[in-house]
Structures are given as C-alpha cells and as structure tokens.
Amino acid sequence: MKLETLAIHAGRAPDLATGAVAPSPILSTTFARDAQGDYPHGHIYSRSSNPARAALESLLAALDGGTAAAAFASGSAASMAVFQALAPGDHVIAPDDVYHGTRTQLRELLARWGLSHSLVDLTDLDAVRAAITPATKLIWAETPSNPLLKISDITGLAELAHASGAQLVVDSTFATPVLQQPLALGADMVMHSTTKYLGGHSDVLGGAVIAREPDALFARIRDLQTKGGSVPAPFDCWLLQRSIGTLPLRVRAQTANAQAIAEFLAAHPQVSAVHYPGLSTHAGHALASRQMTGYGAMLSFQVHGGRDAALAVAGKVQLYTRATSLGGIESLIEHRASVEGPHTSTPQDLLRMSVGLEHVDDLVDDLRQALAG
C-alpha cells in the first residue's frame, strides 16, 4: 500500500464490539484475567502494553517499512533508550551538527557510565571512517540535521557501520516517513520525535524507534521501554494516530511553503546564508534529491549584522510565533543559539524556522517586513 493509505489504515480497524469506525483510547492501566489466570486479550498492565500503544506502534512500523516499533513518552526518551541499550565502554559516532538534546545526553548523562562518543561531520564519509574504532557499536545520524540542515549519505553510512560491526540509527524527525525511508536505504533503525510532524499540532509529546529487524539491540530497547517505564499515555497514542492520517498532506504542503520561503530568503540582501536542501546551492542538494522525495519544511538562515540583527528580525515577525519545537501547523521561528545555551555551536546570527500551513504569500510578506531596513 502507498504511504497515504497506510497513514489511515495501518493499525486501525472498526471496533469489533461496537462497530465504531473511529478508534477510542483504552485508558485502563490494568487488564482482567480469565478464570484460568490467562490474559485473553494479550494485555496485562499499561506500562507493558496497551491497545492504543499497540495500534500506534503497528502504524509507525508500517510507515517506515519496519517490522517493529517502540513508542516512548518523548523523542528524548527514545534516543536515550537507544544509547542505554549499548554497554559501558562502547563508542558512538554522532554528527557535529546535531540536536542539542542528543549532544547533551551523550556528553552529560551517558559519559558518566562509560559510553564514549565522537562528534564528526557525517557528510564526510572519510571522516566517519577515520573515527571508527574497535569499540564503535553505533553511528547515530541526523539527516537533515538540526539546525544547519546538513544531508548525510544514509547508504554510505550504513555500509561503513556494517563493515565495522556497528549499527546505523537515523534520526529522521525533520524528514518524516513521507520524505525519507532510512530503513530502505540500509539503516538498522529510525528514530522520530513524534512530538513534531507526526503529532503535527504542537499538543502531544512522544518519540519512537522503528527497527528493520527486531534484533538483539532492539530487544534491549524494548526492554528499556517497558522496564524503564518511559511510555506514552494511551490518550497521547490516540492523538498521534489521529494526526498521522493527515501527515502526508501536511508535510507536502509545508514543504512547498518552505521551498518558496527559502528562495525568497536566498535573494534577500539582508540574508547572508540560507540552509535548505531544496536550494540548488545547498551542499547536500544532489544527495537530498536522491535519498528524499522532498526537502522538508525546516530551514534556517543567517542575517547580516550578527546576533542583534537576528534577534531584531525575530522580534519583528507577526505571523511566525517565537517558540521552540517544530512540525506543527503553525509557523515558528527562533534564535537557536539562545535556546541551546553556552555549549552551542550554532552561529549567533542564525534563525531556525518551522514552516507551517499558512498561505505562503502571507509568510513571505511577514519576513519581508521583518527584514526591512
């Protein structure tokens, strides 16, 4: 089935008891045994499994072409579970341009119990090859990256990982399953912050890890999910499944808006650089054209005049909301370095945008007035 069909039908069927077409979340935390002490419906306790979570995980696995999925209470919980499934003494290679929360987990939390890491330019396969050690068990890719929208070669990274006995996990939050299928390109697992585009309405927190095959590493991730207890509530699972039905339409419309905005910004005299893989001038444009079906709705740009000028632009917008996060129907803008704090490597003159579903002419006009002067 095509993605649009899967988004609506995977993990979903009319309720057998009532015939209801729209599923309802089962909020119960515990489930009854039969007279023999068995659990006839397969659920014991909601931390271990819940009908709403089971339906969501089936849907998520189908969208990414995987065989199993584990849903978490947040994207950070999902990435943390992947890293915790490794052992002390293992080594992780991660991008030098990476979501600051991932960098913080590796530097401040996981280093304490002996997980080492190297931050490498993952767009340079030779640099990745040079960073691999006998202890390397995982390459963590993020493509497009946050916030510079770098594009990494998923197939090339998978080949390097597998040749050294490691696995490749791709954070595909920016791309979503609509625009990129990392498992089909050789990745072992894909991670999403489902808070973002899959939720799509800035009202639900979640994360997920989807596996091409339920191997030993994924089994440990599943174990951490249930025993660690960082699971999404049934209502959150229901909200996500409800939103995913419109995911392909939303992402493609937002991508079209982002392309037009990127082209406007690239021609503006107050803008010194635009980071968007849909521009032919982007260093990763050709690669993105091969491994993605669209360039996404995230972009960042730098303005002449440094930090103060960037903050001034953000302060003058009227339609864009000055807020963190991304992927909702509303357009957001933020001065990313301010969010990331003292360890940031993000340029101080950079603004990151999550492009929403407003009319593109209104979004462009708002940027035009904010950049004026």
- Which are the catalytic amino acids? 47, 99, 171, 196
Q: Quick one: tokens of 372?
A: 């004026």
The edge-to-edge listing of strands for the beta sheet with 271-275 is: 271-275, 298-303, 350-354, 332-335, 321-322
Q: Tell me if 252 sits within 8 A of 356, measured CB to CB.
A: no
Q: Tell me if 20 sits within 8 A of 14, measured CB to CB.
A: yes
Q: Which amino acid, 180?
A: Q
DSSP H helical ranges for the chain: 3-9, 51-64, 75-84, 100-104, 125-131, 154-163, 176-179, 216-228, 234-244, 247-266, 285-291, 306-316, 336-340, 360-371
Q: What is the DSSP string of 154-207?
A: HHHHHHHHHHTT-EEEEE-TTTHHHH--GGGGT-SEEEE-TTTTTT-SS----E
What is the C-alpha to C-alpha distance for residues 347 and 131, in angstroms, rounded to an integer? 25
Sign of CA dihedral 215, 247, 156, 148: negative
Question: What separation in angstroms does the CA of 13 have from each of 8, 27, 239, 319?
Answer: 10, 18, 16, 39
